[in-house]
Structure 1
Amino acid sequence: MAEYVAPKHEAPPPAITGRRLSYLTFAVIVIAYLVIIKVSGMLIGGWADEDDTLTTRGVVFTMLIPLGLSVIFTYGVIAALGWWRPVMKDDRPVNRWVWVVPAILLGAILLGINYSALSEKGWLFIVCLLIATQFVGWGEEGMFRGIGVTVLRQHGLREGQVALWSSVIFGVVHLSNAFTGGGSGAIAQAAIVSVAGYFFYLTRRVSGSNALNSVMHGLFDFSLLTGAVILLDQQAYVGTFAPLLAYPILAIILLVKRRSIEPADRAGDSTIASLA
């Protein structure tokens, strides 16, 4: 496939330095990442006799420690590949209106957090949950929007293909939840996660780095957990629907403006535009 060619007025993005990664090797890395989370989660949770996230101790042993190990693995791989710059910095900008994507996600996060019920859990629970969900954000964004996007670009895919396949891979990986209690609902989750992956991909590109999407991914999960999972023992919270509504709202906006996501000289390279 053809390499990315920058418009005449635009300096080409720096070549990806470091080691070259095959698709098969990337798949092995992703599987190892999943094994670390799933197996260490079961072993550590079992050792501590914890199987839920309703208490501070439960969050520490079922989320914080296993997810922390996955983050160490992810950024260890990035360091070993010599990919700090291509993973952490994105040199392919989109039009500035795309800032609406992280803006809507932020609004959904702020509305979705169940502040009242969460305050009853105490500050230590809140801090542990925040750190754990940031581990989710930095781990998954480092693996899929960082390493994954870099692998696809290194193999010469057009940017629309990079957006599509990095999001699909992100969703498919979540099918693993079917084997750990997710059941048939894991299929629907995988589809939704794929869409979310595209939103985080656009956040990466509009911000020019892999940091903002990592932070927002963690906060988005924090919001979902406080409203719908962690606090099941509390009264139903209407704000829980805010993060869920963000998906169709963003989908409609991106479909309407699909042809103006990319700068003018690359307008045909948008994932949505190329599929429309």
Structure 2
Amino acid sequence: MSIELKVRPRVWIGLAIYLGYIAVVFTVQLVSGVRYDELGASGSNLFFGAGLSLIIATVLLALTTTLLGWWRPALFDRHRSVRWPIIAPILMAVALVFNLISTDWGAFDGAFLAAALVILLVGFTEEITTRGLLLTGLRSRLSEGWVWFLTSFLFGAMHLLNATGQALGATIQQVVFAFIAGTVFYILRRVTGTLIWAMVLHGMWDFSTFALSHGTPGPLAGIGATINLIAGVFALIAVAFVIRGTDERTPVNEGGRP
């Protein structure tokens, strides 16, 4: 069944949106003057160093998706994959709960909590950019195996921006972990048939990690990290079964503009 899109999906459009998102976030964060390793120092740092760029990106991405008419292919798959790989995102959700349990909530003031809540927007911005609009563009030409790899790889690569205020070794490690997390989010999209749950899990995960890093973590923090590692290893194995037999190339009518 074909769907009517205002603009026919193209690989270059998805890549242009991806690069545009990076440019907006990098520029806003650069102008703020807040280094990545200083985000957790105060609510003001967290908001101006990260939250403000997410608010601006949210508005621009929503407008872009509307102008393209890509909301449906960006948010929904036509078919679901096999169900059992959902174990990976479930494990990640369990790790998230341990993060929240281990957070030193007494170290929070109202300003930092409010700024941390804005971080939830990252679930929308990074997911709609990579596993939403970029994915839609890539599916116009590439097989699903490449779609998974490139969306996860480029999701990890966008975290190289953190090298402006973080040691290069730590940043490379973050890029690798982001690739693995991206695989978990990709699996969640394919298993549920929608990007929405990946947005929720992604936003909550980032919120939980920022919360955990503020103050003195509780003794159960290590358990959450271990469970998340298990989730990642499982995801890298299970993703092959999610990809197998997948045909999600977006069928569009002839009314879509080139």
**What TM-score results when the alignment is normalised by the length of structure 2?**
0.82
Looking at structure 1, the residues matched to 25 and 240 of structure 2 have their Cα atoms a distance apart, in angstroms, of: 38
Q: Paired residue for 1:69, among 47, 56, 75?
A: 56
In the alignment, does 2:70 pair up with 1:83? yes
Q: Are 2:91 and 2:227, in contact at CA under 8 Å, matched by a contact in 1?
A: yes
Q: Which runs of 5+ in 1 are unaligned?
A: 1-11, 271-276
Query: C-alpha deviations, 1:205-255, integer Å up to 9, x for none?
Result: 11221111011101111111122x333xx3x43333344323431244346
Aligned residues: 244
Q: Give the % identical residues.
A: 24
Q: 1:207 to 1:176 in 2, by over 3 A?
A: same
Query: C-alpha deviations, 1:1-21, integer Å up to 9, x for none?
Result: xxxxxxxxxxx6x55733134
Point out the more displaced range, 64-73 or 170-179.
170-179
Q: Which residue matches 2:162?
A: 177
Q: Which residue matches 1:196?
A: 181
Poorly superposed stretches of 4+, deviation over 4 Å: 254-260
Q: What pairs with 1:17-36 in structure 2 (closer than 5 Å)?
A: 17-36=5-24
Looking at structure 2, the residues matched to 169 and 60 of structure 1 have their Cα atoms a distance apart, in angstroms, of: 25
Q: Which residue matches 1:230?
A: 214
Q: Are 1:259 and 1:268, in contact at CA under 8 Å, matched by a contact in 2?
A: no
Deviation at 1:40, TM superposition (A): 1.1
Deviation at 1:202, TM superposition (A): 0.7
Looking at structure 2, the residues matched to 240 and 75 of structure 1 have their Cα atoms a distance apart, in angstroms, of: 35
Q: What pairs with 1:1-276 in structure 2 (closer than 5 Å)?
A: 14-15=2-3, 17-45=5-33, 52-114=39-101, 117-132=104-119, 134-155=120-141, 157-227=142-212, 229-231=213-215, 234=216, 236-254=217-235, 260-261=241-242, 267=244
Q: 1:52 to 1:242 in 2, by over 3 A?
A: same
Looking at structure 2, the residues matched to 252 and 63 of structure 1 have their Cα atoms a distance apart, in angstroms, of: 29
Looking at structure 2, the residues matched to 258 and 144 of structure 1 have their Cα atoms a distance apart, in angstroms, of: 17
Q: Which residue matches 2:251?
A: none
Q: 1:71 to 1:239 in 2, by over 3 A?
A: farther
User: Once superposed, what is the RMSD of the aligned Cα atoms?
Assistant: 2.6
Q: 1:219 to 1:242 in 2, by over 3 A?
A: farther
Deviation at 1:38, TM superposition (A): 1.9
Deviation at 1:194, TM superposition (A): 0.8
Q: Which runs of 5+ in 2 are unaligned?
A: 248-258
Q: 1:19 to 1:242 in 2, by over 3 A?
A: farther
Q: Are 1:224 and 1:240, in contact at CA under 8 Å, matched by a contact in 2?
A: no
Deviation at 1:27, TM superposition (A): 3.0
Looking at structure 1, the residues matched to 123 and 66 of structure 2 have their Cα atoms a distance apart, in angstroms, of: 18
Q: 1:71 to 1:183 in 2, by over 3 A?
A: same
**What TM-score results when the alignment is normalised by the length of structure 1?**
0.77
